[in-house]
Amino acid sequence: MKVLFFNPQQEMLGLQCLSATLKAAGHQTALFNDPRLFDNPWVRIGRTDGASYVHDAGLAAVAAHSPDLIGFPVVSDDYGWARAWAARLKARCDIPIVFGNCHPTFHPREVLGRPEVDFVVRGEGELTLLELVEALGRGKDFSKILGLGYKDQGNVRINPMRPLIPDLDSLPFPDKDLHYGPMPYLNHGYITMLGRGCPYRCSFCDNNSSARLYAEHGLAKRWVRRRSPERAIAELLWARTRYCAGHFRFNDEDFGYDQRWLREFCALFKEKLGLRYFAWVSPNTIDAKTARLLAESGCDAVEMGIQSGSERMRTEVLHRRVSNRQMESAMRALREHGIRTDVDLILGLPTEAKADLDETVELLRRGRPWGTYAFWLQYYPSTEIYALAKERGLLPSGTAQARAAGIHREGDIPRDALARRYHAFITLLPLLPDAFIRLCQRWDLIRYCPAFFNTFLIAQLRRLLKGGVYNEFQVRGYHLLWRESGRFLAACFTRKSS
């Protein structure tokens, strides 16, 4: 059996895991990448002359591969994109289409209500997708496939959830060739995850929603799982040999939450590889001892979520149990051990006031991270923060209707003018001297910060000015822009010439 995945621009590790499992069972996989040059988190223009070359290329990929099944990874922000592609494909061919990932997991009936979608895979998908592919090949029914949603003579059927995979060491290494073939520029730095699940229960995050969903089915006894240090190192050695990987990026939710595992892994990594790496960390688990362990093993950069500098917001709204003192201490420990630290924040939170934003600025001033990334809150119906805001009547006007209509993107959430000014200032803050930040705080000058600054461009400028360690996302982005812009311009020229 042959499966063709449609990919929304970035490297999707989940697709690589699915593909590896299918290939290990003797099936064939391929990938078509939609570059989404004008429909991504930073640029949304709508219809552009020449962009139809992507549609033609997608249809050509289907014709070339003749798949038995077409799959889409669908987080809520990509739901509209996936629906549009699926409808386009259904109008031209009668190939079954399956949606997987977060959105179908939480909203299977909504998704299967669409005529262009035939199946949904809920939760961890390796075994569910494998069984679906084999059932399609053998003409068997789908009623016994755990984790699957499907249509039966016009009726939507949702099977019970599949238990979590207890032993991650049993899974094959991710199929990097799936992406590296059509997207060779991704072979700059090696991205992987050495575990699954998150130990925290933040109100805004789908990890919390997923853990609750599995708990409702009595399947969340081992939500957080890790591969053994030996198996993790085996993949990295394989990646260095096969892809000449010289820098690694570990996308685990909190790389340091299991200190015993971390000590064993860091010792093996330093001994066997001796290279540099990036990791996601939490201030809950970073102290001077852990920062030193990370630095000595080769960690050159981390990203850490702090979300808000207001302890009230974190406790009452975000359900994050960590003090400002601990956050400041974590940032200082990482900085003192030479680890570049970017921090993530969320603005536009329900009940957020100017005093909360001022506390965020003060925490950042004291912590002095290398970089700041401030995102606007997006309300997803599966999250606790959505329920909280809805219960208190705090949802922005039109949000509930937009979500009910399947619209999941930043642009439909109104942003307070003052919050936009703080957004720009927070993004600029790592470039500003401490004395200037204090002056702005003392005289309440942040309210006058120009709100028209494009924070994405500010972040790029900050990278150029500050330099720093290797950043695979930045390198990949430049290659993507160069490659796909050339294809777009060639398509425009061909269209006008004809």
Q: Is the pLDDT of residue 51 over 70?
A: no
Contacts for 93 with CB less than 8 Å, ≥ 6 apart: 62
Look at residues 250, 276, 272 and name the one whose alpha carbon lies nearest to residue 469: 276
> If pLDDT is split at 50, 70 and 90, which confidence band does 300 have?
very high
- Report phi then psi at 440, rounded to 5: -65, -35
**In 10 A of CB 13, how many CB atoms?**
16
Task: Return the structure tokens found at 477.
Answer: 């982005």
Q: Is the pLDDT of residue 172 over 70?
A: yes
End position of a domain, from candidates 158, 178, 195: 158
d(CA 379, CA 204): 8
- Report phi then psi at 129, rounded to 5: -65, -40
Predicted local confidence at residue 496, as pLDDT = 54
Same domain, 405 and 300: yes
Using CA atoms, how far residue 317 sits from 24, 348, 422, in Å, is 44, 12, 20
Q: Tell the residue number behind the tokens 């259904």, with chain if given.
A: 90
Helices (H), 324-374: 324-336, 354-367
> If pLDDT is split at 50, 70 and 90, which confidence band does 314 have?
very high
Least confident of 227-236, 271-280, 311-320, 456-465: 456-465
Question: Domain for residue 477, yes or no?
Answer: no
pTM of the model: 0.92
Q: Is the pLDDT of residue 47 over 60?
A: no
Q: Is the pLDDT of residue 253 over 90?
A: yes
> If pLDDT is split at 50, 70 and 90, which confidence band does 487 have?
low
Over residues 149-176, mean pLDDT? 96
Predicted local confidence at residue 170, as pLDDT = 97
d(CA 58, CA 52): 10
Same domain, 46 and 67: yes
**In 10 A of CB 213, how many CB atoms?**
18
Task: Return the structure tokens found at 263.
Answer: 């000590």
Same domain, 11 and 127: yes
Sign, CA dihedral 312-314-318-319, equals negative
In the chain, % of residues over pLDDT 70: 89
Q: Is the pLDDT of residue 42 over 60?
A: no
Question: Domain for residue 483, yes or no?
Answer: no
Over residues 259-281, mean pLDDT? 98
The parent domain of residue 6 ranges over 2-158
Task: Return the structure tokens found at 233.
Answer: 């190192």
d(CA 477, CA 121): 30
Predicted local confidence at residue 349, as pLDDT = 93
Q: What is the CATH number of the domain that holds 137?
A: 3.40.50.2300
The model's pLDDT over 428-450, given as tens digits with 9 standing for 90+, comes to: 999 999 999 999 999 999 999 98
d(CA 381, CA 175): 32
Question: Domain for residue 486, yes or no?
Answer: no
Using CA atoms, how far residue 455 sits from 9, 241, 392, 452, in Å, is 21, 38, 30, 9
Predicted local confidence at residue 48, as pLDDT = 47
Over residues 180-199, mean pLDDT? 94
| Cα within 13 Å of Cα(352), Cβ side | 28
End position of a domain, from candidates 135, 158, 181: 158
Over residues 363-388, mean pLDDT? 93
The model's pLDDT over 404-416, given as tens digits with 9 standing for 90+, comes to: 555 554 433 446 7
d(CA 79, CA 102): 10
Cα-based angle 481, 191, 270 (whole degrees, multiple of 5): 130
d(CA 394, CA 261): 42
Q: Is the pLDDT of residue 63 over 70?
A: yes
Task: Return the structure tokens found at 69.
Answer: 């099944």
d(CA 255, CA 250): 8
CA dihedral of 465, 468, 474, 475, whole degrees rounded to 10: 110
Question: Domain for residue 484, yes or no?
Answer: no
Q: Is the pLDDT of residue 39 over 70?
A: no
Using CA atoms, how far residue 201 sits from 196, 314, 473, in Å, is 14, 12, 27
Question: Domain for residue 60, yes or no?
Answer: yes
How many domains, the chain? Answer: 2
Q: Is the pLDDT of residue 452 over 90?
A: no
Over residues 479-487, mean pLDDT? 70
Question: Domain for residue 81, yes or no?
Answer: yes
Over residues 324-336, mean pLDDT? 98
End position of a domain, from candidates 101, 133, 158: 158
Q: Is the pLDDT of residue 58 over 60?
A: yes
Same domain, 226 and 323: yes
Same domain, 41 and 190: no
Q: Is the pLDDT of residue 482 over 90?
A: no
- Report phi then psi at 34, rounded to 5: -95, 110
Over residues 301-316, mean pLDDT? 97
Strands 225-226 and 195-196: antiparallel
Greatest mean pLDDT range, 322-326, 385-389, 391-395: 322-326
d(CA 392, CA 415): 19
Same domain, 295 and 150: no
Contacts for 232 with CB less than 8 Å, ≥ 6 apart: 194, 265
Same domain, 103 and 229: no
Same domain, 124 and 228: no
Q: Cβ(393)–Cβ(367) under 8 Å?
A: no
Predicted local confidence at residue 405, as pLDDT = 55
Same domain, 277 and 361: yes
Identify residue 64 by its one-letter amino acid code. A
Q: Cβ(158)–Cβ(108) under 8 Å?
A: yes
Question: Domain for residue 293, yes or no?
Answer: yes
Look at residues 178, 127, 172, 133 and name the one whose alpha carbon lies nearest to residue 7: 178
Predicted local confidence at residue 106, as pLDDT = 97
The model's pLDDT over 119-143, given as tens digits with 9 standing for 90+, comes to: 999 999 999 999 999 999 998 899 9
Q: Cβ(330)–Cβ(363) under 8 Å?
A: no
**In 10 A of CB 59, how many CB atoms?**
15
Q: What is the CATH number of the domain that holds 205?
A: 3.80.30.20
Contacts for 490 with CB less than 8 Å, ≥ 6 apart: none
Over residues 37-47, mean pLDDT? 58
Predicted local confidence at residue 403, as pLDDT = 59
Same domain, 78 and 223: no
Contacts for 167 with CB less than 8 Å, ≥ 6 apart: none
288 against 189, higher pLDDT:
288
Task: Return the structure tokens found at 129.
Answer: 């997708």
Question: Domain for residue 482, yes or no?
Answer: no
Look at residues 299, 302, 232 and name the one whose alpha carbon lies nearest to residue 264: 232
d(CA 310, CA 214): 31
Predicted local confidence at residue 411, as pLDDT = 37
The model's pLDDT over 341-352, given as tens digits with 9 standing for 90+, comes to: 999 999 999 999
For the chain, what is the mean pLDDT?
Answer: 90
Over residues 291-307, mean pLDDT? 97
Same domain, 404 and 282: yes
Same domain, 208 and 64: no
Predicted local confidence at residue 52, as pLDDT = 72
Look at residues 336, 277, 337, 349 and name the one whose alpha carbon lies nearest to residue 308: 349
> If pLDDT is split at 50, 70 and 90, which confidence band does 238 have?
very high
Q: Collapsing DSSP states into helix, strand and coil, what is residue 346? A: strand
Q: Is the pLDDT of residue 220 over 70?
A: yes
